[in-house]
Each structure stands twice: as structure tokens, then as C-alpha cells.
């Protein structure tokens, strides 16, 4: 196993422990964290859909935008529910679910930010 893979694996193994520690400090628990990240993900998805619709209405390259969005959705799914979920499967309890949802949330927020830059052009 090369150093990069070891580092990534270690990070995915340590992340749930950090999440659980944070929950304990804030008098919460992992289920509170999961609830929080689910709410964040839903908010990000709503913002993504809204931003995409605005961009779709403003462009004359609708087919190209739609194809790009479909490709991005496939990438997000493979990245977060494929690779990251596989790496996170070593986590105990709901830790792997937290890691996967964090990935989905982060990548979705990045996409929203990118689509917003396209709206400004």
C-alpha cells in the first residue's frame, strides 16, 4: 500500500472518531450529527436544483448543460457512494454513513458554487 493510500485510509478511519468526539463535546451524539448532515445535504440539494434551473433558463446550450449535469451526478454518486463508502466501510456504527453523507454534502456545495460562477458570466 503506498503512502497516499495509507494516509487516505487512516483519515477515513479517524474521521468517525473525530465526529463522535465532537458530538460528545457538544453534548450530542452520532445520530445528532447524522441528522445535522442530512439537513445540510437536503439544503445543498435544494440550492443545487434552484441554481441549476436558473442556469438552464439562462443558457442557449441546454442539452450540453443537461449532459454535463448528468455526468456530474454520476461522478458524485461513484465518488461518494462508491469509493468513499468503500473506504469508510471500516468505520463502526453510523460512522460510515456520516462519511458518505459528508462527501455528498461537500461535493454538492462545490457544484453549487461552480454553477453560480457560470451564472455570473
What are the structural domains, with CATH classification, of the chain? 3-119 (1.20.1270.180)
Q: How far is CA 30 from CA 27, 42, 43, 67, 92, in A?
A: 10, 18, 20, 37, 11
For residue 65, the number of C-alpha atoms closer than 13 Å in the C-beta half-sphere is 17
pLDDT tens per residue, range 36-46: 999 999 999 99
Instruction: Give the pLDDT confidence of 59-116 residue by residue, as tens digits.
Output: 999 999 999 999 999 999 999 999 888 888 877 677 788 899 999 999 999 999 999 9
CA 4 – CA 9 distance, rounded (Å): 9
pLDDT at residue number 20: 47
Compute CA distances 42 → 8, 10, 53, 105, 108, whole Å: 27, 28, 17, 8, 10
Does residue 21 register a pLDDT over 60? no
Average pLDDT over residues 52-64: 97
Q: Is the pTM of this model over 0.95?
A: no
What angle (nearest 5°) sits at the alpha carbon of residue 46, between those of residues 29 and 66?
130
Amino acid at each position: 500500500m503506498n503512502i497516499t493510500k495509507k494516509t487516505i485510509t487512516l483519515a477515513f478511519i479517524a474521521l468517525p472518531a473525530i465526529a463522535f468526539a465532537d458530538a460528545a463535546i457538544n453534548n450530542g451524539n452520532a445520530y445528532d450529527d447524522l441528522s445535522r448532515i442530512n439537513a445540510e445535504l437536503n439544503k445543498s440539494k435544494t440550492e443545487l436544483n434552484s441554481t441549476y434551473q436558473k442556469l438552464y433558463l439562462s443558457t442557449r446550450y441546454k442539452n450540453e448543460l443537461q449532459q454535463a449535469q448528468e455526468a456530474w451526478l454520476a461522478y458524485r454518486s461513484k465518488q461518494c457512494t462508491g469509493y468513499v463508502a468503500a473506504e469508510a466501510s471500516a468505520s463502526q456504527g453510523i460512522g460510515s454513513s456520516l462519511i458518505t453523507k459528508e462527501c455528498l454534502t461537500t461535493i454538492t456545495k462545490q457544484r453549487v458554487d461552480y454553477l453560480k460562477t457560470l451564472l455570473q458570466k
